[in-house]
Amino acid sequence: MTDAAELLDLTRKLLAAHPPATTDRADFLKARFDAGLAWVHFPEGLGGLGAPRSLQAVVDAELAAAGAPDNDPRRIGIGLGMAAPTILKYGSREVKERFLRPLWTGEEVWCQLFSEPGAGSDLAALGTRAVRDEGSGDWIVTGQKVWTSSAHVARWAILIARTDPDLPKHRGITYFICDMTDPGVEVRPLRQITGEAEFNEVFLTDVRIPDAHRLGEVGEGWKVAQTTLNNERVAIGGMRLPREGGMIGPIARTWRERPELRTHDLHQRLLTLWVEAEVSRLAGERLRQQLVAGQPGPEGSAMKLAFARLNQEISGLEVELLGEEGLLYDDWTMRRPELVDFTGRDAGYRYLRSKGNSIEGGTTEVLLNIVAERVLGLPSEPRNDKDVAWKDLAR
């Protein structure tokens, strides 16, 4: 097992062989992956060294001190946080070797084709169909997906589709990797309340997917998707932040810099939210420590719940603090951003964009059920359709 001293030595050898100041950024990232210093806990040959996950911080700190480039993790967050763990767990050796390296270096952006117009919160009710071509063994996929972040810039997508409509809705689903450049894939922008089109709807018409790009067994896509969804909630709700990182930072700065806006009532509410934001941040640190020992569990759902509620309450208080000034909106033009920027825009943007936090990555209502059932051990809600074939469900 690789220890901290060995990792530090390997990192310094990487820096000596590929000085950041004179090495092309893409070349450095590829060399870092090949040296096993991308995800140190991944297997050798796949960006890692089989080392404890906790030792990643040793590598990251040494590289940051040397001015080495990172892989712009916010831009490729779906690939890093959702696709990669799923590919690692369920992909064949060929799939892992083909996709993990360009995913980590950012050469190929990923998106997630899960939600549908008729199957958002009830994702297992999805209707996108994948039919086996008996001649070639490929899968022919037809359907529609919605709320797809980064689809307009993505090269690949993780996709779940129904392969057996005669089975109940949680069964008969299969998980695939979809080529977003296929001529059968059409991406259309969805304009949001912010004026942007950060999300998309995606239409799939006779998209051909080779069976080699299937993750997990046929009909077991729901089980595979749980890996993705659990990691997604951790990625959204459990991101590493410094003190006063995230939404609490801008309002705290405004409070310090604009004493004329202060009132006793707002002061008390801001203090309460500041404490809650700090508690949430520290709970996220504990969650990441738990991840070192295994796969994410329902704790990620609790973190995502806290993230959504706090963002909405903090942004609402910020608009109230600024008064009329808080109603201003700096840019209403139709833009197609690759990244969501909560802190680099004005208060009006943060207030509007945070409304989506309780929907994306699992609605608040669904996550409350997960916490109730899997954390608190409360009785499950009645599910009358659990054993009914998908084709017989009312729609």
pLDDT tens for 190-214 read 988 888 888 899 999 999 999 999 9
- CA 231, distance to chain mean position in Å, is 7
Task: Give me 152's structure tokens.
Answer: 């307009």
Is a pLDDT exceeding 60 seen at residue 239? yes
Residue 204 backbone dihedrals phi, psi, to 5 degrees: -115, 120
Task: Give me 24's structure tokens.
Answer: 């092309």
What is the average pLDDT value for the chain, to the nearest integer?
Answer: 90
Q: From CA 354, how far away is CA 338, in angstroms rounded? A: 17
Q: From CA 236, how far away is CA 330, in angstroms rounded? A: 26
- Directed axis angle between helix 264-291 and helix 299-322, to 10°? 160
In terms of Cβ atoms closer than 10 Å to its own Cβ (0-12, 13-18, 19+), residue 1 is: exposed
Q: Is 94 an annotated catalytic residue?
A: no
Q: Are 120 and 147 in contact (CB under 8 A)?
A: yes
Mean pLDDT of 103-125: 92
Q: Are 235 and 228 in contact (CB under 8 A)?
A: no
In the prediction, which pLDDT does 119 show? 85
In the prediction, which pLDDT does 297 show? 60
Rank 222-236, 321-335, 354-368 by mean pLDDT and report only the highest: 354-368
Identify the band that residue 233 occupies on the pLDDT scale cut at 50, 70 and 90: low
Q: Are 237 and 95 in contact (CB under 8 A)?
A: no
pLDDT tens for 131-189 read 999 999 999 999 999 999 999 999 999 999 999 999 999 999 999 999 999 999 999 99
In the prediction, which pLDDT does 359 show? 84
Rank 174-178, 307-311, 346-350 by mean pLDDT and report only the highest: 174-178
Residues paired with 199 in a beta bridge? 190
* Residue 29 CA: distances (Å) to CA of 16, 149, 242: 14, 24, 25
Task: Give me 106's structure tokens.
Answer: 């950012």
Q: Are 113 and 101 in contact (CB under 8 A)?
A: no
Q: Are 160 and 225 in contact (CB under 8 A)?
A: yes
Domains of the chain in start order, with CATH, are 1-70 (no CATH), 226-375 (1.20.140.10)
Which residue type occupies 214? R
| 334 DSSP assignment | -
In the prediction, which pLDDT does 194 show? 85
Q: From CA 122, how far away is CA 126, in angstroms rounded? A: 8
pLDDT tens for 268-290 read 999 999 999 999 888 877 776 66
Is a pLDDT exceeding 90 seen at residue 336? no
Q: In this predicted structure, which of 164-173, 241-250, 269-278, 329-338 has the lowest mean pLDDT?
A: 329-338
Of the listed 232, 278, 299, 360, which one is catalytic? 232
Q: Are 111 and 149 in contact (CB under 8 A)?
A: yes
In the prediction, which pLDDT does 301 show? 73
